[in-house]
Amino acid sequence: MSPTPEPTPARLRAIPSRLLAGAAAAADRLVSERLAGEGARKWHFAVLTALAEAGAASQAELSRRTGIYRSDMVAVLNELAGAEYIRREADPADRRRNVITLTPAGHRRLEHLDALVTDAQRELLAPFTPGQKDELTRLLIVLTEHHRPSHPRPHDAK
């Protein structure tokens, strides 16, 4: 029988940044587990979503849209292209860069992954009423937007 864990001190339970970190860790675990069960990763979902919502893009544009480092984006795109979820084609306006597009198989994959992510959100937010879920989402958007960098980081530059 494992020992009962010591309760977290009340002062630590009242620090918002600590609470956000704990909630983020739980959210990351839930989403990652769901996606991994289908051979996918969060970055796959992010790229497919970005392409579905905003259309074809260069690798640099996708990096900016998703927050995935450009150096990591190549590996993500290789994985998605290998499964035929995306297509890379030379940009007619600039033959040195590729334009990434979502394939029909990519649309189907995104629908499936979206259902998994939605299920993970449902589990994560289970203790809340619908109104509380909406309010939490609204507050997290405000907080995230407030702390978003006002200028691109070096890896985001063209």
- CATH 1.10.10.10 assigned to domain 41-141? The reply is yes
What's the whole-number mean pLDDT along residues 113-142? 97
The dihedral built from the CA positions of residue 157, 67, 45 and 53, taken in this order, carries a sign that is negative
Reported confidence tier of residue 148, pLDDT bands at 50, 70, 90: confident
Return d(Cα 129, Cα 152) in angstroms, integer: 37
- Predicted local confidence at residue 95, as pLDDT: 82
**Chain-wide mean pLDDT for the chain?**
92
Model's pTM, two decimal places? 0.84
